[in-house]
Amino acid sequence: MNYWLFKSEAEVWSWDQQVAKGDEGEEWDGVRNYQARNNMRQMKIGDRGFFYHSRAEKEVVGIVEIIAEAHPDSTIDDTRWECVDIKAIRPFQTPVSLAMCKQDERLKEMVLVNNTRLSVQPVSEAEWKIVCDLGNTDPS
C-alpha cells in the first residue's frame, strides 16, 4: 500500500465536507498541476492519504482512502486533467500542524516540509506512522 497527502484550503473544500460525503466519497477535482496529477495516476484503490488544510490552518486533520483510480476530471473539458475519488476514514485525534512536522527531525525529508506548493504528494510509510503517532491517531 502507498501513502499520500491531499492539500485543500478549508474555505474551498474542507474535511467536514469530505466527511459529509460518507462512503460515497468525492472526486479530488481541480488539480491543474502535472506533478500532482502524476501522483494521482499512481494511486491504487485502498491506498491511504492524509487530508491537509492549507493556508489558514496548516495542519493534517484526517485520513482518507482512495476509492476510485484516476479518471477524467468532470469539472473541466480538457483530457489532460484527471482525478481520483476519496472517502474520509477517520479524523485525527490531535491535528498535526506544519510547525510540528518541521520541528520533528524524522520528518525533515517530508515533501510537505520541502515542497510547499505541491498539492498532491507522496508520503513514505515511516512518515505516515510518525505523523499518525504525533496526532494520537490509528495509522491503519
Partner DNA sequence: GCCAACGTTGGC
Give the binding site for DNA (CB under 7 A).
7, 9, 32-35, 54-55, 58, 98-99, 102, 115-119
**Residue (32 or 41) nearer to DNA, CB:** 32
Q: How far is the CB of 110 from DNA (least distance, A)?
A: 12
Q: How far is the CB of 36 from DNA (least distance, A)?
A: 8
Q: How far is the CB of 140 from DNA (least distance, A)?
A: 26
Q: What cell numbers appear for 109 in the block?
A: 525529508
Measuring CA to CA, which residue among 25, 33, 23, 28 is closest to residue 12?
Answer: 28
Contacts 24+ apart (CB under 8 A), 112-115: 112/5, 112/52
Measuring CA to CA, which residue among 83, 8, 94, 74 is closest to residue 41?
Answer: 83
**Residue (44 or 102) nearer to DNA, CB:** 102
**Residue (44 or 55) nearer to DNA, CB:** 55
Tell me the β-bridge partners of 122. Answer: 4
**Residue (35 or 124) nearer to DNA, CB:** 35
